[in-house]
Structure 1
Amino acid sequence: MSKKTLSTKLRSPALMLALCAAFDTRAQTVTTDDGSTANTALERAVTALVVERTDLDASGAVAPATFGGSEFNRDFLRGFKNDSASRNGHRDYGYLGTECICAVEAIEVLKGPASALYGNGKPGGDLNTIEKLPGLKDYRNISLFTTSPGMTRARLDVADVVDDVAYRVNAQAYTGSTYADLNKRDSVIVAPVVEWRVTRDLKIKASYNGGYVNMTWNPQFLANQALLSVPATRFLGEASNKTRIVDNTARVSLEYQLNSSTQLRQAFFFQSESFSDKGLTYDTYNYALSDLVDAAGNVKRVSQRDRSDQNIFVSQSEILGRTRLASVPLDYLLGVEVGRFHYRYKLEVGSAASINLYHPVYGASMSSALDTLADQAYGTDNVVLYSQNRFQLSQHLRLLLGVRAEHYRNYLQDVGESRSEFSDSLFSPRVGMTYQLHPQWIAALSWTNSSRPQIGAKSATGKLFKPEAGTQTEGSLQYTAPDESLKTTTSVFSITRKNVLTQDLTSPAFQIDSGRRHSRGVEQDLSYSFTPALKLDLSAAYTDASVSQDTVLPVGALLAGVPKWFSSVYLGYDLSPAWSVGAGYVFESRRNATLPSNGVVLPTMSSVDLTATYKTKKWSVDVTLVNIGNRLGYTSDGYTVTPINPRELQINARYKF
C-alpha cells in the first residue's frame, strides 16, 4: 500500500498559526479520503502521518493499534510521557477516553512552539489528531478486517451533504480473539459528526464518540526477567478476568468570520467515562518486582477490583486574525480556556492462587474478601488566558511570541479524610524564530516554557504539589527540493523538567516535588520520492533522557522505557494503478525497564511489516504480514511492559457503495 499524502483537513486556524513559527507554507497537491485531489497551502509539520494501520506501525511515531483501551498514544515523545493531545489543532482531552481511530484521518507529531500552544506541560512535542470531517457528497464505504488470531472488525463510513448541512458517520465493531491466550474482545464505537453552515460567515460543528469495550483483562508483563522470558502470547490472569469501558465524548464548535481578516471560535468539550477491571493479577502490593516469580516459576497473584469514573468539561473561546502593528504584518491568536476535571477511583485487593509461568493451569477464582486500598476523588478547575503571535519582520524572517497565564485549583479527598486543596497561578512564555536562508532552506530556533498542575497526589503533610514545569530549547534546519521530491528536517533539542515528584526521605511513603529530569537529542525526518511511484519516509532519533536531580535516584540514571536510539523506515511502491506494495521497519535500542533500575533491561526491538494492496474504483484489499520475523520485542511506559505483536496475518477489504 503506497503511503498517501496527508489530507488537507488541517482546518484549524489555531494549528496553522502555531506551525507558522517553525515551518514554511508551501503549495501542495494532496489526496483526500475519497480519492480526489486538490491544491492547497499546507503548513507542513515535521512529521505527518496518515492513519492507515500499516503506516502507523511502520512510522513508529505512534504505538501500533492495540486491542484494548485507546487505539493510539505513543508512550514517549522526546523522552517524556505523552499524556496529552490536540484534535484538529485545538486542545483536546479525548486521549483520556477510548477514542476510535476509525474517525481519525491523520495523526501529526508536533514539535517546538507548535506543541506548546495550549501549555500542556510537554514542550517537547504533542500529537494532533485530524478527524474525518464531513463535506463528501454521497460517500459510503464499508470495510471488513480479520487477523490470523481470530479478531474480526467491521467499519462503516457514510457521508453526504444536504443543502447547508454536511454529515459523516463512522462506526466500528470488534469481536473475537487477540494474540494472547484466552483473550477476547468485543466493542462497538460510533462517531458521527455534523457541520451546519448557518450563514456564509457562521458554521457550527458537533461530533460525538461513544461506545463500549468488553474484553479480557490481561495484566501483560512487568519488569521481571522471568516474566519476559516467556512467549508474548502467555496469559497469566484468568479467563474470567474482565475489563469494561463505557465512553461518551462530545465536541461542539462555532466558527464566525467577523470580517475578512478576523475569526471568532467557540469550542466545548465534554467527556464522561467509566472504567473497571476485575480478576487476578500480579501481587505487586506485597512483593517487589524481582520477587514476583519464585524458583519453581510460580507467579504470585492477587484478586483485584478497581473502578474509575471521570468527567471532563472544557470551554475555549478564541479570536484570531491578521493585522499590522507598526507596519509589521501580524498573525495573532487570543484565547480563554475554562476547564473542570473530576476523577473518582476505588481499588480493592484480596488473596489469590499463584499460577505457573511455564505450565499455566487456569481455573482459580477471585477472593470473596477484598480490602479497600484506595478510595478517593480528585481533580482540578482552571482558567487560562493564552496568546500566540507571529510577526513577519521581513520577507525571510518570522518571529513567534506566545504566552499562557493560568490559575488553577487542585483538590483531593480520600474517603473518610478531609479534603485537600491547592491553588496557584502559572505563567508560561515561549518564543520562536524562523529564517529563510534560501528558497529551499529554512532555519528555526525556539525556546518554549510550559507548566502542568499535578493532581491525584499529596505530601506527607496533606498538601498538594506545585505544578511541574518544563523548558525546551530547539534548533532545526529544513530543506525542501525545488520539485519537492525531497523534504528533510534536522532538529536538536534540550528539555528540562522540574518539580518532578520524588521520594520524601523523612516520610518514605510520600513524595516531594524537588526532582528534575533532562532530555537532549537529535532527530532526523526525511521524505524522498525516487519516482512518482516509489517513496521513502525515514525518521531517526538519538535521545539521552536522565535524572538530573533527585532525593534517592542517582544523577545520570537513565529514564525508564526511553530508547537512546530509534529509527523507522517506510518504503511504498506503486507497481501499477491497481497494485501497490509497502514495507515498514521499526528499531528501538536497549532501555531500562524501571526507574530506579532493578537490573531488567528491555532488549533491542526491531520489527518488519510487509503489505500489498489491490484496488479498483469501488473496492480494495490490503494483505499485511505484521512482524514477519516473529521477533520478540517490548515497549514500556516506564513500568508496564507490553510485548509487540507476534507474527500475524491481517486482511482488510473495503468497498465503496
Structure 2
Amino acid sequence: MSKTALSTTLRLSALTLALCAAFDTRAQTAAASPVETGTPAALERPVTALVVERTDIDASGAVAPATFGGSEYNRDFLRGFKNDSALRNGHRDYGYLGTECFCSMESIEVLKGPASALYGNGKPGGDLNSIAKMPGLVDYRNISVFTSSPGLSRVRLDVADVVGDVSYRVNAQAYSGATYTDYNNRQSAFIVPVIEWRVTPDLKLTVSYNGGYLDATWNPQLLANQALLGLPAKRFLGEPDNRMRIVDNTTRMELDYKLANGDHLRQALLYQVESYRDAGLAYDTYNYALADLVDTAGNVKRVSQRDRANQTIFVSQSELIGRGTLAQIPVEYLLGLEIGRFDYRYKLDVGSGSAINIYRPVYGAAMAGALDTLADQTYGTDNLVLYSQNRFQLSPSIRLLLGLRAERYRDYLQEAGEARSSQSDSLFSPRVGLTYQLHPNWIAALSWTNSSRPQIGAKSASGKLFRPEAGTQTEGSLQYTAPDESLKMTTSLFSITRKNVLTQDLASPNFQIDSGRRHSRGIEEDLSYSFTPELKLDAAASYTSAYVSHDTVLPVGALLAGVPKWFSSLYLGYDVTPAWSLGAGYVFESRRTATLPDNGVSLPAMSSIDLTVTYKTKKWSIDATLVNSGNHRGFTSDGYTVTPVNPREFQLTGRYKF
C-alpha cells in the first residue's frame, strides 16, 4: 500500500489516531515494554506514532503548508485549540522552535491526555512529537527526487552505516522552484548529520546537528476579507521582490546510561540559534479594519514592512527512567529535571506603500525609503522544572497513571527605550489516568489533565506581565480490537477549559487583561479495518464545539475561529500486486468562523481527494500523486490569517537505494 496518499488524511486525522498515548510514560515512538505481570497484550495500548516518510508528508503540506517550508511546524487545531507549538524528540517547543528539516524526521507521535502535559506545553488536549531518523542502519544509501506541476524540484539524500562502535546517519536536502502562487519561488538547503557512539555496552552518546536556510518569496498572508477570499488561490498581491530568509543552527546531544538494575539515566541538551528576515509590501492592517482593506474598485491597501527576529534556545533535560515495585505494586516511572532558557528579539518597521488591484494586479512598486519602528522587543523566559510520570499496574487489567510537573519560571519583556519588566511564579500541573481491561478485546480509559503555560512577550497597561494560562481536560474513551486485529475502533469524549486567556482591557483598549476563558468539548471516532491483507481502510470523524465561555468584549458562546464542528477523513489503500499499489484519501471540514471576533466572514465547507499510484522494486520506487484531484476551493484559518487549500497539483517522487 502506498503511503503517499496518507498525507491527505494525516494533516487532521492523525490527531485522532491515538487513544491511550496518555498512558505511555515517555514521548517515544513505541510504547514501553509491559511490566512482567502477565498483562494481556491488548492492554499495552495502541501505537502512538504514525510512521510516514517525510517525502510523503511535506510534499502535500500535510504537517506544514507547502508554502511555509517547515518554518511553521503545524497550523492545525488539536481538539479546538491552535497547535502553536510541538515537541522535537521530547524537547519542549516554546512556539518558536524553528525550521527543522523534514528530511530528518522519521515519524510523528500523537500524544493525548496526561502524556501531552509531561513536557509542559500547556495544551491538555494533545500534542505532537516528531521523532528524528536515527543511526543503526548498515550500509544504507537512499536518494529521492521530487517534482511538482508548479515547478518545485527537490533532491534528498539519506546515508547511514555502522563502523565499529560508531553509527552515523546523514540526511541532506536541497530544493528550488515555483509554488502554485504566482511569482512565488523557494530555495532551500539543509544538512542533518547524526552520530551515535557506543562508548561502553551501557553508555551511549548521540550528537546531531540541523543546519540550513530557506530563502523564499514573502507572500502576504491571506486575510478574512470577502473580496480577498473570492480570488483564485494562485493570486499574489505582494511584489515579486518581496523576500523572506530563515537561517537555522540547532545542535542536540544526548547521553544514555544503563544502570545495573536496568534503569536508564538520560541527559539531553538542545541549543538553537535562528534568525528570520522579511521585507516587502503587505496588507495595511495597521490603519484599516479587515472589511475596509479593499475598496469598491478592487484596490487593496498596502504598506512597506520589514520584520527581523533572532532567537536563542537552550534546554537541558535530566531523566531517570525505569521500573520497580512500590508496596508490591509494579510501577514504571520517569523522573526528570529540566532547565531552559529562551530569548527572542523582534523588530517591526512599517512605512507607506502603494495599493494594488486584486483583479488586475500590476507589479513594480518599490518599498518606501523611510520606515517607522512599530515594535522593538526583547523577551523570553528562564525555567526550572521537576516532572514525574508513573504508571502503576494495580491488577492484570487495571493501570493507574499519576503525574506532576512543578515549574519555577521567570519571564521578562523589554521594549526599546523602556525599563525591563519581569516576574517569577510557580506552576503545578498534576494529571491522572486510569485504564481498565473490560474484556480481552475492550479497553476503557479515563483521564484528567491539568497544564499551565507562561504567557511570554505581552504585558498589561500597568506594565505588568500576565499570569500563566491554565488548562484542564477530562477525557473518557473506549477501544475495541478484533481478535484477529483486522478491526480497531476507538471512541473518545473530551471536555477542555482554558483559563487566563488574554482579552481586551476595556479601561485601556490598546492593552489586554488575562481574564478570558475558552471551552471545547467533543467526540472523536477512529476506525481501522483490513478487508484483506491487501485492502485496508482508515477512517476518522469528529464533532468539536469550541467557544468563548468568558470575555470582556466577545459574546459568550462565540465560536472559536478556524475550528470546524464536523470533520471526517478516509483513506483506502490497495496493494494490487507486490509491486503496484493504489491509494485514495478524502478529507472534509464543515463551515468555520474565519476570525475572532467574528467579522461576518466565514470559511465555506471544504473537501479534498488525493489519488496516488506507486510502483516499487527492491531497489527503487516511483510515486505519482494527484493532490486535490477535484480542484476544490477551500481554506484553513489560524484564527486570523487564512491559507488556501492547495489547488490541483501533480507530484512525482522517485527513490533509489544504492
TM-score over 0.5 (shorter chain): yes
What CA distance in whole angstroms lies between the structure 2 residues aligned with 1:510 and 1:191?
42
Task: Report the residue type matching 1:116 in the other structure.
Answer: A
What corresponds to 1:403 in structure 2? 404
Deviates more, 1:111-120 or 1:398-407: 111-120
Relative to structure 1, is the Cα distance of residues 432 and 42 closer, same or farther in structure 2, using a 3 angstrom cutoff? Answer: closer
Q: Which residue, out of 26, 29, 52, partners 1:50?
A: 52
Distance in 1 (alpha carbons) for counterparts of 2:207 and 2:95: 15
Any idea what the Cα deviations from partners look like across 1:304-341, whole Å, max 9, x if unmatched?
A: 00100000000000001111111111111110000000
- Give the Cα–Cα distance (whole angstroms) in 1 for the partners of residues 149 and 187 of structure 2: 17
More divergent stretch after superposition (480-489 vs 170-179): 480-489
Corresponding position of 1:2 = 2
Change (3 A) 1:440 1:43: closer
Q: Which moved more, 1:484-493 or 1:65-74?
A: 65-74
1:17 and 2:10 correspond: no
Q: For the Cα contact (< 8 Å) 1:58–1:584, is it kept in 2?
A: no
The one-letter amino acid of 2:136's match is G
The equivalent residue for 1:593 is 594
- Return the offset for 1:643: 0.5
Asked if the contact 1:523/1:540 (under 8 Å) is kept, the reply is yes
Task: Tell me by how many angstroms 1:261 deviates.
Answer: 3.1
Q: Distance in 2 between matches of 1:450 and 1:598?
A: 31
Query: Superposed, which structure 2 residues align to 1:211-290 within 5 Å?
Result: 211-290=212-291
Assess, with a 3 A threshold, how the Cα gap between structure 1 residues 626 and 149 changes in structure 2: closer, same or farther.
same
Equivalent residue, structure 2, for 1:110: 111
Q: Number of aligned pairs?
A: 638
Cα RMSD (Å) of the superposition?
2.4
Give the aligned residue type for 1:157: D
1:549 equivalenced with 2:559 (yes/no): no
1:431 maps onto 2:432 in alignment: yes
Asked if the contact 1:58–1:609 (Cα under 8 Å) also holds between the matched residues in 2, the reply is no
1:378/1:138 CA distance change after superposition, 3 Å: same
Output the TM-score relative to the length of structure 2: 0.93
CA shift for structure 1 position 422? 0.9
User: Kindly tell me: are residues 144 and 93 of structure 1, through their superposed partners in 2, closer, same or farther at Cα, counting changes over 3 Å?
Assistant: farther
Question: Secondary structure at 1:226's aligned position in 2?
Answer: helix
Q: Distance in 1 between matches of 2:456 and 2:534?
A: 50
1:157-196 per-position Cα deviation (integer Å, ceiling 9, x unaligned):
0000000111111111110111000001100011111111
Cα 1:59–1:397, aligned 2, differ >3 Å: closer, same or farther?
Answer: farther
Q: Is 1:561 matched up with 2:569? A: no
1:499, 1:546 → 2: CA distance? 15
Q: In the alignment, does 2:144 pair up with 1:143?
A: yes
CA distance in 2, matches of 1:166, 1:177: 37
Bigger mean CA deviation after superposition, 50-59 or 636-645: 50-59
Corresponding residue for residue 185 of structure 2: 184
What does residue range 588-627 of structure 1 map to in structure 2 within 5 Å? 588-627=589-628
CA separation in 2, counterparts of 1:16 and 1:610? 35
Q: Would the aligned equivalents of 1:388 and 1:403 in 2 still touch at CA under 8 Å?
A: yes
Amino acid at match of 1:320: I
* Aligned pairs (5 A) from 1:308-319: 308-319=309-320
**Which amino acid in structure 1 is aligned with residue 2 of structure 2?**
S
Number of the residue aligned with 2:415: 414
Corresponding residue SS for 2:647 = coil
Aligned residue in 1 for 2:470: 469
**Secondary structure at 2:223 match in 1:** coil
The AA in structure 2 aligned to 1:564 is K
1:514 aligns with 2:512: no
For residues 551 and 189 of structure 2, the distance between their equivalents in structure 1, rounded to whole angstroms, comes to 45
1:127 corresponding residue in structure 2: 128
Letter in 1 for 2:380: G
SS in 2 for 1:198: strand
- Give me the whole-angstrom Cα distance separating, in 1, the residues matched to 2:169 and 2:203: 19
The answer to whether the 8 A contact 1:301-1:354 is kept is yes
Q: Deviations over 1:114-166 (max 9, x none)?
A: 21111210000000112111110000000110000100000000000000111
Give 1:45 shift: 4.0
Point out where structure 1 has 5 or more consecutive residues left out of the alignment. 7-12, 28-38
Deviation for aligned residue 1:107: 1.1
Does 78-87 or 217-226 show the bigger shift?
A: 78-87
What is the aligned partner in structure 2 of residue 162 from structure 1?
163
Checking the alignment, whether the CA contact within 8 Å between 1:306 and 1:348 is kept in structure 2 is yes
Cα 1:123–1:511, aligned 2, differ >3 Å: closer, same or farther? same
1:17 Cα offset (Å): 1.8
TM-score, normalised on structure 1?
A: 0.93
Mapping 1:67-86, distance limit 5 Å: 67-70=68-71, 72-86=73-87
**Residues 15 and 186 of structure 1, relative CA distance in 2, 3 Å threshold:** farther
CA distance in structure 1 between the partners assigned to 2:389 and 2:460 by the alignment: 35
1:344 counterpart letter in structure 2: R
Whether the aligned pair in 2 keeps the contact of 1:534 and 1:573 (CA below 8 Å) is: yes
CA distance in structure 2 between the aligned counterparts of 1:552 and 1:326, rounded to whole angstroms: 53
1:59–1:569: 8 Å Cα contact kept in structure 2? no
14 and 446 in structure 1: CA distance in 2 versus 1, 3 angstrom threshold = closer
Q: What amino acid sits opposite 2:264 in the alignment?
A: Q
Identity percentage over the alignment?
73
Contact 2:23 2:391 survives alignment (8 Å): no
Offset of residue 448 of structure 1: 0.1
* Deviation by residue 1:520-579 (Cα, 9 ceiling, x = unmatched): 010111111111111111111111000000000000000011111111111111111110
Shift of 1:385: 0.4
Aligned-residue offset at 1:583:
0.7
Tell me how far 1:95 sits from its aligned partner.
6.3
Q: Distance in 1 between matches of 2:48 and 2:456?
A: 32
Secondary structure of the 1:140 match is strand
Q: Which residue of the partner structure matches residue 30 of structure 1?
A: none
Q: Report the secondary structure of 1:287's partner residue.
A: coil
Counterpart position of 1:174:
175
Partners in 1 of 2:243 and 2:568 — Cα distance?
Answer: 36
Q: Does the 8 A contact of 2:343 with 2:378 survive in 1?
A: yes
**Distance in structure 2 (CA, Å) of the matches to 1:622 and 1:616:** 12
> 1:113 is paired with a residue of what secondary structure?
helix
Change over 3 Å in CA distance of 1:583–1:226 after alignment to 2: same
Q: Which amino acid aligns with 2:639?
A: G
In the other structure, the counterpart of 1:32 is: none
Q: 1:255-289, CA deviations, whole angstroms, 9 ceiling, x for partnerless residues?
A: 10012431100000111110011000000000000
TM-superposed CA distance for 1:47, in Å, is 6.4
